[in-house]
Amino acid sequence: MLIIDYYPIIAGAEVFAQKVAENLAYNPKNKVFVITARSNRSLPSFEIKSNVHIHRIVCPFFPHSFFLFSFLKALQFIKKHKIDLIHAHLAHYPGFSAVLAGLLTKKPVIITTQGGDLLDYAETGQYASLLRPILIYTLSHANLVHAVSRYTMRMAKTLGAKKMILIPNGVDIEQFHPRASNLDLKKKLGIKGEKIVLSVSRLTPKNGLSFLIRAAALINKKIPNVKFIIVGSGSEEKNLKKLTSQFKIDKNIIFTGYVPHEQIPEFMSIADVFLRPSVAEGFGIVFIEAMAAGIPVIATRVGGIIDIIQAGENGVLVEPKNSSQIADAIVKLLKNASLASELSRVGRKYVEQTYSWNIIFDKVKKMYAHFYRR
């Protein structure tokens, strides 16, 4: 497996890669190697975690040089360990590396695309002129392109993908489940009886947190006893805090900074509503995590989110970049306990039946089996 970041550096693509790798490696007949960047020098260059062999490589001019150094490492591994299959997570640098290694060694290549790697997000779109030719070459030469939503499937096809399969991301329904509110966490955050709106997100433009802050300012005029907890870190943190100060709602919004993924369920246990006002989204694992945790979810009508949320049945959909709609949706759920409870119940059941990792693992293994039979 090739992926730019890997556990403990976690976002949607990394969660999928880790879960699949560990599930495969649980079977002693399988050997799973992960090649990833050593972007955090405090992490070891090599370790075995949950039977997965994790190799972290130093990449000067990170992340743009990842394709070169991962390509060289992949060639070494394929020769030494008699690799059967190369699986790249994200179509740009890891995918390009995998396709080149596959062509030279005649090994099959699967590429998983999550959305942001298809130039759909602001942070990747700025490199469009550089990445587009690479993506077109990569997607058209992969043996199989795996998309996590109908939206990413359409995007990948426009960039040259030929043979494709749709398998969504998954969620650990044992880790994310309805649980008693963590009173110690509330106390630590200084929350004393207020309603809580939670957002878990990298603080980047595509996740639209500025529209949440604007909505919070509107809500503060209607329901003053609401706390907004924003979990995550990123490039927009300074701007978001500045905006919070401009609206004079510093007391209503709590920025936690980075929180390890395994601690997210505790934050979800204290939330009355979950919201991420994405302006672009290939899938959005955090939405199915929140649904699994039994929280009513508000999301925007963009990208792969519409595969997950059926408006009015298992969640609420609003238009992107519309703070007024976001505010109205939050107020509605906070004031209508029966509606919030019903959305939570249906959302949890839907996730159990559709996105449980056991269901997703079966689909991934069938995808792999096609190449092993060859």
Ordered by where they begin, the domains of the chain are 12-170+356-373 (3.40.50.2000), 183-354 (3.40.50.2000)
Report pTM: 0.91
Q: Which helix (H) or strand (E) holds 238?
A: helix 237-246
Backbone dihedral angles phi then psi of residue 253, each to the nearest 5 degrees:
-115, 130
The Cα–Cα gap between 101 and 275 comes to 41
Longest dimension (CA), the chain: 65
Token digits of residue 16: 């999928």
The Cα–Cα gap between 247 and 217 comes to 6
DSSP three-state, residue 312 = coil
pLDDT by 10s per residue, the chain, length 374: 999 998 887 777 888 999 999 999 999 999 999 999 998 888 999 999 999 999 999 988 777 788 899 999 999 999 898 899 999 999 989 999 999 999 999 999 999 999 878 876 555 555 666 778 889 999 999 999 999 999 999 999 999 999 999 999 999 999 999 999 999 999 999 999 899 999 999 999 999 999 999 999 999 888 888 999 999 999 999 999 999 999 999 999 999 999 998 999 999 999 999 999 999 999 999 999 999 999 999 999 999 999 999 888 999 999 999 999 999 999 999 999 999 999 999 999 999 999 999 999 999 999 998 886 54
| Residue 296 preceded by cis peptide, ω within 30 | no
Q: Which helix (H) or strand (E) holds 265?
A: helix 264-269
| Cβ count near 40 (within 10 Å) | 10
Alpha-carbon distance values, 72 to 6, 66, 68 (Å): 19, 10, 6
